[in-house]
Amino acid sequence: MLASLVHTIDPFALEFGNGLGVRWYGLSYAVGFLVAWLILRTLARAGRIALSTTQVADLMTYSIAGVIIGGRLGHVLFYEPQLFATFHADFPWWGLLDIHRGGMSSHGGIIGTVVAGAIFARSIGVPTLHMIDCIAFASPAGLCLGRLANWVNGELPGRPLPTTMQASAPWWSVKYPAEVLEPTFPAAALAPFEWLVDPRLPLPDAVYNAAYLNRADVLSKLEPLLTAYYPNNFIQAFTDGPLLLTAMALIWLRPRKPGMIAATFLIVYGALRLGSEQFRQPDDGVMMVGPATLPMALSLSMVAVGAALAVWATRRPAARMGGLIPQK
């Protein structure tokens, strides 16, 4: 029984070879959209939103495009702008299109979805702010599953636990076998593994491969040598999913003026991200905005925009819409 949760998950649910296949990352997006569709279809059938079930299905098409385009463009623009000029011999040949290798920005996805929702709202004559309210309310499942997909990919690790907690790491901490591949990992610590792993490979690679084959004899010896991190992916999956949805549901129990649910989303999501980012390891080379990382700055901007939207939506003359509880 390992003391910490060790990352040993294959990112492929089904692999065809040469790095192609069905990844858990892609499946998480598919399930997220399915849950969003079910939520909005249920509300549409109950007459709680100004969309028909057919329009909900069409909205999902727009939203998928918005999330994928916005999420990828946001990631490349905010974190890896060099991918705009990166070309290679493998499909899909352009670094910008290498979505199968990971790299989606939640902030970019939100912007893309808002733009897609606004375009769709204008095309069917539904108030734009109401459409964005619907999108916001249906989005936490996708955000939650996206964070779990980051865990599957071994992305966005948390910060290392304090030194005083490393010797006896708590059960909720997480560890990554990829640490053995880092140049700073002490080679002498791997000596006991020479008789356990494939001698044809460099020792760090052989230990890494054995760990991802879930070799219990290797993992039991390796786990105490690895650095323990905060479980950032699971923290953000909870805050961006169930906690965010609960906050919006409480606000939308009764009809609200269009824009109030979107404002709640921006304020609550931004505030929760500001808190959860304290446990996240900053990406290498990530831009700093004063003392804050770029994700923190973007989250703070969301809170500010959400507050402004809440004030504007409250004051503008508009009929209240939606509401989860039928009104008498």
pLDDT in tens, 105-156: 888 888 999 999 999 999 999 999 999 999 999 999 999 998 999 999 898 8
Looking at the structure, do residues 258 and 199 belong to the same domain, yes or no?
no
- This prediction has a pTM of 0.88
- Band of the pLDDT at 247, cuts 50, 70, 90? very high
In a domain, 171, yes or no: no
Looking at the structure, do residues 35 and 122 belong to the same domain, yes or no?
yes
In a domain, 162, yes or no: no
Question: Is residue 289 predicted with pLDDT exceeding 70?
Answer: no
Q: Which residues of 146-172 are buried (b: 16+ CB within 10 A; e: fewer)?
A: bbbbbbbbbbbbbeebeeeeeeebeee
In a domain, 328, yes or no: no
Q: Which of 225, 246, 261 is the last residue of a domain?
A: 225
- Band of the pLDDT at 2, cuts 50, 70, 90? confident
In a domain, 286, yes or no: yes
In a domain, 323, yes or no: no
Looking at the structure, do residues 295 and 150 belong to the same domain, yes or no?
yes
Looking at the structure, do residues 65 and 193 belong to the same domain, yes or no?
no
Looking at the structure, do residues 79 and 128 belong to the same domain, yes or no?
yes
- Band of the pLDDT at 288, cuts 50, 70, 90? low
Looking at the structure, do residues 130 and 181 belong to the same domain, yes or no?
no
Q: Which domain holds residue 181?
A: 177-225
pLDDT reported for residue 100: 63
What's the domain count of the chain?
Answer: 2
Looking at the structure, do residues 219 and 235 belong to the same domain, yes or no?
no
More confident residue, 248 or 110: 248
Looking at the structure, do residues 123 and 95 belong to the same domain, yes or no?
yes
- Write out the two tokens for 92: 């899909």
More confident residue, 231 or 21: 231
Looking at the structure, do residues 139 and 251 belong to the same domain, yes or no?
yes
Question: Is residue 287 predicted with pLDDT exceeding 70?
Answer: no
pLDDT reported for residue 139: 95
pLDDT reported for residue 4: 92
In a domain, 327, yes or no: no
In a domain, 320, yes or no: no
Mean pLDDT of 162-175: 94
Looking at the structure, do residues 240 and 121 belong to the same domain, yes or no?
yes
Mean pLDDT of 207-222: 95
In a domain, 256, yes or no: yes
User: Residue 138: which residues within 8 A CB-CB, separation 6 or more?
Assistant: 35, 36, 37, 39, 40
Looking at the structure, do residues 17 and 98 belong to the same domain, yes or no?
yes
Mean pLDDT of 101-107: 75
Looking at the structure, do residues 78 and 221 belong to the same domain, yes or no?
no
